[in-house]
């Protein structure tokens, strides 16, 4: 596999990066392994110096990093800068969050003994990363994992090599800056690894790799989990989502409709936590739908490097073609497109903002994840029907609930089979709380206290108190 970038706005090839040779791959794994042996013995303050220096490096390269996002995967430039800024913010916040999350948990402290849990690093972790948030997805794994004392080896998506190389340059700059500030800071074991897909099974099996995380499809997640399980390696999987956006009769409809547009079209609709199924109670369905369709129709589609653009192209031709088929199959099954629904007249890999209604239960738009600016809207009778429809999916990542009634909100929170519920807000990720899902949306958590601990060994330590005569 060659790492090959194509400008999705034009379909024109940009550049290629060859994968590491077997000898180069082995040397990189050995380098990270050796660096991690030192890194695990250093203290939190020195690890934090690297993370803080990384934030400075990212900020210094903000425009170049953002430009790569627009060129290689079509992210609108305003959103591209926001992704870099979010990574910088993570580097600023994470050291304090890690210090709290990784501190010993004291379980027992009495006259007989002291019992606590220490969070020890596992080793080097392989991260198989996606193309939709190439920086944020990589760093929201890497930063907590490094602060826990681990090494990280990041395999970037095949379509975004330019941004991956620049991110690796930022890692190198941060290592140099941390050492210049404090010569006792060891090299942070953090590297991009251009590893071909066909070689990943062997890397996972390598004894120097302690765990693996993947952000991607449920099909890829099953394979990685199977290989890792064979070798008894720790796994964290962040997979797909078909997140419900539930609008109940007492919701603020104007606010809900405006946020629905934003929630469906974040990253041009290419986000696992983008709202995808809009489940609206009958009493407010017509008003919500009219406002929502108007909002989707008004979005500006265009050149991702134009600051006025709100919707850029789909990142790759294959993803665009898959989305076309899902929508066509849904319309053939009986769904109707109130806006969008066709790529006729569009160059590059663009797909227009689309709203589908009257969707049969067995249509792709009802059961599958649609990765692009396509919204599926469903009319339901009441709260119970809304919850049932929301749970009727193989995925379980996030859910957004819109209601003014705290009792009804609690009912939804308890009944929804997802990893995250947001009330009167769209679903977002944040370093302070855990991110992840259930069912085919994956396993394990990123971010928050749980995410900082995922790739650690929770070591139980009991110290008996000696009798006074033996002290």
* Cα distance between residue 80 and residue 227, in whole Å: 34
Closest CA to 101 of 456, 438, 437: 456
* Cα distance between residue 178 and residue 6, in whole Å: 35
Residue from 170, 272, 281, 412 carrying the catalytic annotation: 272
* Cα distance between residue 282 and residue 183, in whole Å: 65
* Cα distance between residue 152 and residue 143, in whole Å: 9
* Cα distance between residue 375 and residue 372, in whole Å: 9
Here the tokens at position 305 are 């490097």
Residue from 72, 238, 369, 446 carrying the catalytic annotation: 238
Cα within 13 Å of Cα(164), Cβ side: 32
238 is catalytic: yes
In this structure, are strands 456-464 and 398-402 parallel, antiparallel, or unpaired? Answer: unpaired
Closest CA to 40 of 167, 186, 149, 185: 149
16 is catalytic: no
Collapsing DSSP states into helix, strand and coil, what is residue 255?
helix
Beta bridge partners of 280: 247, 379
**How far, in whole angstroms, is CA 54 from its chain's centroid?**
20
User: For residue 308, what are the CA distances in angstroms to 76, 119, 257, 339?
Assistant: 9, 47, 21, 21
Closest CA to 51 of 190, 154, 209: 190
Do 61 and 119 touch, CB atoms closer than 8 A?
no
Supply the residues annotated as catalytic: 238, 272
């Amino acid at each position: 596999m060659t790492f090959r970038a194509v400008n999705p706005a034009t379909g024109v090839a940009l550049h290629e990066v060859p994968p590491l040779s077997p000898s180069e791959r082995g040397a990189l794994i050995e380098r990270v392994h050796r660096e991690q042996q030192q890194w695990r013995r250093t203290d939190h303050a020195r690890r934090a110096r690297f993370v803080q220096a990384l934030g400075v490096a990212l900020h210094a390269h903000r425009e170049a990093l953002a430009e790569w996002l627009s060129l290689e995967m079509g992210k609108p430039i305003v959103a591209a800068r926001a992704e870099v800024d979010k990574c910088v913010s993570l580097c600023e916040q994470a050291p304090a969050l890690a210090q709290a999350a990784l501190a010993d948990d004291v379980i027992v402290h009495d006259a007989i003994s002291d019992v606590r849990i220490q969070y020890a690093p596992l080793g080097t972790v392989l991260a198989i990363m996606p193309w939709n948030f190439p920086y944020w997805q990589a760093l929201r794994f890497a930063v907590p994992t490094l602060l826990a004392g681990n090494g990280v080896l990041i395999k970037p998506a095949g379509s975004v090599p330019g941004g991956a190389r620049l991110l690796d340059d930022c890692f190198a700059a941060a290592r140099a800056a941390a050492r210049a500030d404090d010569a006792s800071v060891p090299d942070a074991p953090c590297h991009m690894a251009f590893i071909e897909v066909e070689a990943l099974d062997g890397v996972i099996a390598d004894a120097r790799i302690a765990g693996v995380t993947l952000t991607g499809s449920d099909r890829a997640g099953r394979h990685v989990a199977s290989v890792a399980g064979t070798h008894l390696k720790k796994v964290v999987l962040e997979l797909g989502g078909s997140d419900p956006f539930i609008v109940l009769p007492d919701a603020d409809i104007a606010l809900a409709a405006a946020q629905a547009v934003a929630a469906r079209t974040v990253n041009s609709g290419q986000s696992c936590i983008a709202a995808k199924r809009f489940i609206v109670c009958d009493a407010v369905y017509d008003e919500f739908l009219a406002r929502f369709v108007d909002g989707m129709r008004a979005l500006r589609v265009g050149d991702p490097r134009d600051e006025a653009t709100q919707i850029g192209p789909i990142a790759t031709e294959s993803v665009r073609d898959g989305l076309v088929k899902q929508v066509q199959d849904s319309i053939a099954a009986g769904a109707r497109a109130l806006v969008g629904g066709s790529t006729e007249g569009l160059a590059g890999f663009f797909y227009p903002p689309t709203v589908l209604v009257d969707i049969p239960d067995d249509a792709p738009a009802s059961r599958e994840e649609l990765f692009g600016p396509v919204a599926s809207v469903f009319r339901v009778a009441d709260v119970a029907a809304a919850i049932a429809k929301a749970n009727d999916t193989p995925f379980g990542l996030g859910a957004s609930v819109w209601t003014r009634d705290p009792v009804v909100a609690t009912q939804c929170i308890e009944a929804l089979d997802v990893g995250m519920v947001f009330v009167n807000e769209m679903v977002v990720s944040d370093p302070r709380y855990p991110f992840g899902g259930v069912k085919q949306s994956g396993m394990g958590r990123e971010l928050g206290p749980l995410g900082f601990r995922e790739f650690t060994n929770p070591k139980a330590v009991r110290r008996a108190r000696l009798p006074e005569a033996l002290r």
